[in-house]
Structure 1
Amino acid sequence: MADWHWQTWQGQEFLTCELLRPWPHGFFTRQFWPQPPADLVAALREEATVQRVKQVHGNRVLTPAALPQDNRPVAMAEADGLVSDRPGQALWVCSADCSPVLIGDRATGQVSAIHAGWRGTAQAIVPVAVGQLQAHGSRLEDLVVAIGPAIAGAVYQVSVEVAATVGRTLIAEAPDDDAALIAQLQTWENSPVLSDQTPGKARLDVRLANVWQLVQLGLSPNQVAVAPHCTFQEPGRFFSYRRTGEKQVQWSGIVSDHSGSC
């Protein structure tokens, strides 16, 4: 299991992952709200150029070259992931209960930042981002992935239909019946789907669904780390839309290197 560490900036803590140590990166907490990435980038690398998108719960992944030159909020492209195309780019995503996913390529220094809620995960946004990295020369064996603080499966109640929609990305020949699919997934060790006492409901761990997608792509489990923090269960550190219904977020970012020295 990869080590996670708290770092201090401006008297507040943000989280880093040992797997991503070669890259300036961080999963920021609610204490930094409402500072935008333009302010938070100084905690990582002050001179890095800030890149972000308007998140829409899809699976579109862009490079900064595809973004509007005027990157004000009104001009931001709609997407839920970014892949760097040159060094010194700080890629940012925001989340409350959804999974912030940061990826680094140890051979090229290239990085990706992804917002993966259940909708994006059902559309395989993380494999889409990996595919874009591969299109730019990455090899699966060189990638490392950190999945930041998000809502834990034990407390994330969803409909059976939602759980089955995500589950179908994990089973090549999935049964048509949602209940049968859920039952099959629940037999797995470290399953992303847990039982729920309420009829028609299940518990879904979106973080683990993304881990399974990555492993099925060909990454080894030791290339992927999941933060041991739940946004819903740690109100002192994290915003949670499921807990409060308020549209407040924490930011996660990573700075590209592209030198091939990571």
Structure 2
Amino acid sequence: MAMHVTWNWRTCEELPYLTCSLLKPWKHGFFTQQFSPRTPAEITSLMQFQAEAYRVKQVHGNIVLSPSEIHATLAEADGLITELPGQAVWVASADCTPVLIADSSTGNVAALHAGWRGTAAKIVLSAIAKLQTQGSKIENLKFALGPAISGTVYQVSDQVALEVLSSIGSDDSKSMQTLQELPNPPILPDPHPGRVRLDVRRVIALQLENLGISPEQVAVSPHCTYSQPEHFFSYRRDKLKLVQWSGIVSSTLKLNF
């Protein structure tokens, strides 16, 4: 995780949302359940972001689109990447990880919905590849992994864990045991046979590390959707299909870090 990064509570019309200092130059937010049932367009307007809002129909995959590729009212995908300044891209999440990416050179940004399936399918790496086709360089990218269910409470089957861990090159029970012994491990033991606790955000961070991205470029939120019912919806906790939105606006600025 990036050093000297802070996650800050802010309010808009007395409604709480989070920002990440790593993305400070960009208008962005990880919005709480208190903003429900507002749409991304409504939140964009409420925040006085001078931008056009874009979203997709999320299907737990690894497809990442740009606004010019959205031809249907709600195209099926799990990520959006901007092409021009003043575009706001949004994703919905409950326990899945909202990932916001920003390029300090081009000003382009991305918003991704990364559940366990999308993480296993390497959606974040797909987004990076698409950003690179637009001229991005890895060293200029900043990543903020927002509020999601934490590894200490996210119980999954061994099969699911192995599928996700294969994205970082660990795809058997022996390597899974080895991963549990690491500092800040991506999986933790569970008292139930055939189950483990999975930290999806840690897996994403390891995917980025394996790509050669510096930990200084990555911020991981300490907030857990399951454990903080006062702020976040959690499907695992409540079994209700309710979501909170996360969004970021592309910029014309070229920033030097």
**2:161–2:196 contact (8 Å) kept in structure 1:** yes
Q: Which moved more, 1:117-126 or 1:5-14?
A: 5-14
Matched residue SS, 1:79: coil
Residue 30 (structure 1) aligned with residue 33 (structure 2): yes
Q: Name the structure 2 match of 1:91.
A: 89
Q: CA deviation at 1:258?
A: 3.8
Deviation by residue 1:169-204 (Cα, 9 ceiling, x = unmatched): 112xx45xx422311221322211111111000000
Give the letter for the 1:125 counterpart: I
Among 66, 70, 75, the residue aligned to 1:67: 70
Could you tell me whether the CA contact under 8 Å between 1:101 and 1:114 is conserved in 2? yes
Tell me which of 243, 251, 257 is aligned to 1:249.
Answer: 243
1:134, distance to aligned residue in structure 2 (A): 1.1
* Equivalent position of 1:219 in the other structure: 213
Unaligned runs of 5+ in 1: none
Give the alignment's TM-score, normalised by structure 1: 0.93
Q: 1:129 aligns with which of 111, 127, 130?
A: 127
Q: Which amino acid aligns with 1:126?
A: V
Q: Unaligned 5+ residue runs, structure 2?
A: none
Give the aligned residue type for 1:29.
Answer: T
Paired residue for 1:154? 152
Please give the alpha-carbon distance, in whole angstroms, between the structure 2 residues aligned to 1:98 and 1:43: 25
Number of the residue aligned with 1:21: 24
Distance 2:48 2:86 in 1: 8
Aligned residues: 253
- Paired with 1:223 and 1:47, the residues of 2 have a C-alpha distance of 27
Q: Distance in 2 between matches of 1:227 and 1:45?
A: 25
Aligned residues of 1:105 and 1:144 also touching (Cα < 8 A):
yes
**Which ranges of 4 or more aligned residues in structure 1 deviate by more than 2 Å?**
42-47, 258-262
Separation in 1, partners of 2:81, 2:58: 15
Whichever residue aligns with residue 185 of structure 1, its letter is L
Provide the rounded CA distance (Å) in 1 between the counterparts of 2:20 and 2:255: 18
- For residues 203 and 261 of structure 1, the distance between their equivalents in structure 2, rounded to whole angstroms, comes to 39
3-state secondary structure, aligned to 2:207: helix
Deviation of 1:103 (Å): 0.3
Q: Percent identity between the aligned chains?
A: 53
RMSD: 1.3
Query: Deviation digits for residues 45-65 of structure 1, max 9, x if unmatched?
Result: 433001110000000000111
Which amino acid in 1 is paired with 2:179? L
User: What SS does structure 1 have at the residue aligned with 2:168?
Assistant: coil
The TM-score, its normalising length taken from structure 2, stands at 0.95
Alignment of 1:94-243 (within 5 A): 94-171=92-169, 174=170, 178-243=172-237
Match of 1:12 among 11, 15, 22: 15
